Amino acid sequence: MKLQRKNRVRALAVGALAVSGALALTACGSDDTTGGSGGSGSAAKTSNIKCEGKGKLLASGSSAQKNAMDVWVQNYSGACKDTEINYQPTGSGAGVTTFLQGQTAFAGSDSALKPDEITKSKQVCKGGQAIDLPMVGGPIAVGYNVPGVDNLVLDAPTLAKIFDSKITKWSDPAIKKLNPSAKLPDLKIQAFHRSDDSGTTDNFTKYLKGAAPGDWKHEPAKKWEGTGGQAASGSAGVSSQVKQTSGAISYFELSYATAGKIPTAKLNTGAKAPVDATVDNASKAISEAKQVGKGDDLALQLNYTTKAEGAYPITLVTYEIACNKGNKAETLPATKSFLTYISSKDGQAALKALGYAPLPTEIADKVRATVAKIA
C-alpha cells in the first residue's frame, strides 16, 4: 500500500497544473454532499458534484497541502471537465500576498491571517473580509539522515539547540542521553530550514518557542530567524536535501517523508513513551485546538505543549483563505463549490492515505457551515 501511495503521489505531482494567465473564471455550482475520496486510479465519488459554467480558477499558497490539492483537483476536475482549477504551491507567504492583491480566488496558508492582513483584505473582499478556513491538518515531521541510526528520539530543547546551531554534532551528550542504545556517529549536523516565507516554519518555530522557551529565543515567524543552518525552497526542497545529505535534519510535512522514505524522529513530550509523527497522533493534538478567530474567521490556536499519551505536538493546520463576502461574481460559484467539496466528508476522507489528518468533527462542521454562507 505504501508503494502504491508513493507512486500515486508522484504521478499526481508530475501532472499538477501550473498557474498561468490572469484570473478568469466561472465554474461548478455547490452541493453539500459532493464527493471524491480517492486519487489517481481510484473509484473516486464524483457523481454528486454539480458543475455549472466553464472557466479557470486560480489559487496559490501553502506547499504543505500540495499533495492534498493534487488529489482534490483531480477528483473535482474529473467531474467538472469544463472547469480548470490551478493551484500553485508557492508557499504560504506568497499565496497570501497574491490573494490580497486580488490575483487569486483563494489562498492556502499554514498560518492564520494577521490582523493587518485581515484589514487589507477588505479592499479585495468588497463589503466583507478574508477568513481562515481550516482544511488540512497533519504532523510536521522531523526528518533526518544519520547513517546507522534508524530510531531517533529528540525533545523540544534539543531540537531548539540543533536548529539554532548550539548543538552541532550527532554525538552530542544531549542527543546521546535521549538515545542511549543508538550508535551515534561523530558527524556534523546539517540543519536545513526553509528559504521562503513559510507557514510550516511559523508552526515549527511556534512549537520550539512554546515547548522550549529557554532554548529558542527567537519569535515565531514565517521567515526563518534561527542562527546558522542551510536553506532550501519549499517542503520539497528541504526534504530533498535531507534525503541526499549525510548528517542532515529538517522539518516538513509527513507526506514528504513518506514519499521520500525519510526516517522521522520520535518526540519525548513528557508522556510515558516517545511519540511518532503519524496522522492519528497529530489528530489527537489538533483536537485540543481552540478557535481564536472572530465570527466567520475560524483561526485556531494549537497546543504545542501537550503531554497527552500519543499526541504529537508539532502539527500544523493549513487554512484556505477566502472572502466571506464580496467575492467576484465570476469566481464565486467555483470557489464555493470547490471549498464545499474539499471540506465535505468525502473530500476529507481523501487526506489520510496521503499522510494528512482529516479535520476533527467539531471543526469540520464549523467549516462546512461557514463555506455555505460565502457570498
| Calpha distance 84→335 (Å, rounded) | 12
Does residue 189 carry a pLDDT above 80? Answer: yes
Q: Which of 79, 7, 1, 90 is nearest to 37 (CA)?
A: 79
Q: What is the pLDDT of residues 343-358, one digit of tens each?
A: 999 899 888 888 888 8
Find cell 473530500 and name the residue. Answer: 347
**DSSP letters along 99-153, please?**
HHTT-SSEEEESSPPPHHHHHHHTTTSTTS-EEEEEEEEEEEEEEEE-TT----E
Q: What is the pLDDT of residues 255-281, one digit of tens each?
A: 899 889 999 999 999 999 999 999 999
**Whole-number Å distance between alpha carbons of 148 and 131:** 47
Over residues 30-53, the mean pLDDT reads: 47
- Cβ atoms of residues 76 and 85 within 8 Å: yes
pTM check: above 0.85:
no
Q: Read out DSSP for 142-193?
A: EEEE-TT----EE-HHHHHHHHTTS--BTT-HHHHHH-TTS---S-B-EEEE
Instruction: Count other Cβ atoms within 10 Å, centred on residue 74.
Output: 24
Alpha carbons 6 and 241: distance in angstroms, whole number: 19
- Residue keyed to cell 482534490: 72
Report the pLDDT value the prediction gives residue 355, as an integer from 0 to 100. Answer: 81
